Amino acid sequence: MTELLLIARLGGRRIAFPASSIEAVVELEGITPAPCAAPHVAGLAALRSRVLTVIDGLAALDLSRAGAEGRDAVVIPCEGHTYALLVEEVEDVIAADAPAAPLAAPVGAGWDRVAIGTVEIGADLFLLVDPYLLIAGPAANAA
């Protein structure tokens, strides 16, 4: 009934991902550029012997890429590839009190595409985000 959520901060907001979709949280040491790749791709990184595709969270939201300061990355496997989603900070993993509530109103430019609900934990309200929609980047949902 209650789901584990990963709480992170991105674009100034505190958001939640379903922990089941997340493999790990890492601090990336270096990002190798991938020239001409999709704009939300920050480059490549290595985790042990695996190549990660690094996604700039802000760029994936189509918000300005203000040079992500944080180095925290959320590792998300998706369709046979492993992605590292750059966020400002990963805060915690918490169990939700109650299931997520659907979105009542538009949540803002860029977020509308990826947000799937809101979650209340204690006194805090978090935006529940679908990590796969986020990874897909802006172009994928152009339709």
Partner 1 sequence: MDELLNDFIAETRDMAQALSGAIVAWETAPGDRERLAEIFRFVHTVKGNCGFFDLPRLEKLSHAAEGALAEVRAGTRSADTALVDAVLAVIDRIGELVQALETGEAVASEDDEPLIAALSGTPIVPAAPGAEDPPESEAKKAIRSIRLSVDLLDRMMNAVSDAVLARNELARRLRDAPRDIAVEAAFERVSACIAEIRDGITRTRMQRIDSLFAGLPRMVRDLAAELGKQVRLEVDGGDVELDREMIEMIRDPLTHIVRNAIDHGIESAEARAAAGKKAVGTLKVSARQTGNQISIEVADDGRGIDGEALVRSARSAGLLSAEQAERLSPAQKLALIFTPSLSTAEKVTAISGRGVGMDVVRANIERIGGVVDVDSRPKQGVRLCLRVPLTLTIIPALTISAGGQVFAVPRSAIDEILRVGAIRIDTVGAAEIATIRGRRVPLVGLATLLGVAADVADENQRIVLLKPAGGDAYALAVDAVHDHEELVVKPAAPAVMAAGLYAGTTLADDGSPILLLDPSGIAKRAGITLAESELHQVLRDTTEEAEAERETSLLLFRTLAGGRCAVPVMLVERIEDVPAGAISFGAGKLRVAIGDRILPLAGCDAAPAEGKLRILRLTDGISEIAYGFAEVIDIRAVPLDLHPAAAPGEVAGVALIDDVQVELLDPHWLFAAQGDAASETGAQPVCALPEGDPWMESMLRPLVESLGYRVVAAREGVAADILILSEEGEAPSPVKAGQVVRLRARRDASASDDSIYRYDRAALIGALSRRAANGGGHD
Site residues, partner 1 (CB under 8 A):
30, 32-38, 40-41, 44-46, 48-49, 51, 53, 55, 80-81, 83, 137
By beta-carbon proximity to partner 1, the closer residue of 16 and 28 is 28
By beta-carbon proximity to partner 1, the closer residue of 36 and 123 is 36
Question: Can you read off the two tokens belonging to residue 56?
Answer: 């700039």
By beta-carbon proximity to partner 1, the closer residue of 25 and 44 is 44
> What is the smallest separation between the CB atom of 100 and partner 1, expressed in angstroms?
27
Tokens 């204690």 correspond to 122
> What is the smallest separation between the CB atom of 129 and partner 1, expressed in angstroms?
18
What's CA 26's distance to the chain center, in Å? 13
| Strands lying side by side in the sheet with 72-78 | 24-27, 72-78, 81-86, 50-56, 41-47
Complete DSSP assignment for 71-136: -EEEEEEETTEEEEEE-SEEEEEEE-SSPPBPP-S---TTTTTTEEEEEEETTEEEEEE-HHHHHH
> What is the smallest separation between the CB atom of 55 and partner 1, expressed in angstroms?
8
> What is the smallest separation between the CB atom of 65 and partner 1, expressed in angstroms?
15
By beta-carbon proximity to partner 1, the closer residue of 37 and 95 is 37
